[in-house]
Amino acid sequence: MYSPKDLGKADYISLNIHDTASFARGTSRSLWRQWNQLSRFQRNTIYFAAITIPLIIFYLLPGETKNAILDSSKDYDSLKEIQDTPKHEKAVEELVVDNIDQGGGAGGGEVIEEPEFQPEVNQVDDDQIGEPPQPKPNALKFNGPQNNRQRSVVTAFKHSWNGYKKFAWGHDNVKPISGGYHEWFGLGLTIVDSLDTMYIMGLNDEFTDARAWVENSLVFTLNRDVNLFEVTIRVLGGLLAAYHLSGDKLFLDKATDLGDRMMPAFLTKSGVPFSDVNLGTRSAHSPKWGPDSSTSEVTSIQLEFRDLSRSTGQPKFEAAAAKVSEHVHQLEKFDGLVPIFINANTGQFRDSATITLGARGDSYYEYLLKQWLQTGKLINYLKDDYLLGIQGTQKHLTRRTAVNQYLFIAELIGASKDLKPKMDHLTCYLGGTLILGVHHGLPLDHQDLANEIVRTCYQTYAIQPTFLAPEITYFNIQSRTFQKSEDENQMDMYVKTNDAHNLLRPEFIESLYYMWYFTGNKTYQDWGWQIFQAFENYTKVENGYTSIGNVRNIYNTRPRDMTESFWFAETLKYLYLLFDDSRQLIDLRRWVFNSEGHPLPMYES
- Active site (catalytic) residues: 230, 362, 471, 507
* Closest listed residue to residue 409, CA positions, set 460, 372, 368: 460
| Calpha distance 88→93 (Å, rounded) | 10
* Closest listed residue to residue 571, CA positions, set 141, 251, 194: 194
Contact 306, 315 (CB under 8 A): no
| Calpha distance 315→119 (Å, rounded) | 6
Element (H, E) at 227: strand 225-227
| Calpha distance 31→29 (Å, rounded) | 6
3-state DSSP of 5-47 = HHHCCCCCCCCCCCCHHHHHHHHHHHHHHHHHHCCHHHHHHHH
Q: How far is C-alpha 384 from the geometric centre of its chain's CA atoms?
A: 23
Contact 228, 271 (CB under 8 A): no
| Calpha distance 429→362 (Å, rounded) | 8
Residue 213: count other Cβ atoms within 10 Å of its Cβ. Answer: 14
DSSP state at residue 415:
T
DSSP state at residue 569:
I
Contact 454, 520 (CB under 8 A): no
| Calpha distance 92→119 (Å, rounded) | 12
Helix (H, G, I), strand (E, B) or coil at 263: helix
Contact 329, 385 (CB under 8 A): yes
Residue 482: count other Cβ atoms within 10 Å of its Cβ. Answer: 15
Contact 482, 474 (CB under 8 A): no
What amino acid occupies position 135? Answer: P
Helix and strand numbers (H, E) in the chain are 24, 18
Strand-strand pairing, 591-593 and 544-545: unpaired
| Calpha distance 22→102 (Å, rounded) | 79
Helix (H, G, I), strand (E, B) or coil at 498: helix
| Calpha distance 135→151 (Å, rounded) | 34
Phi, psi (deg, nearest 5) at residue 98:
-60, 145
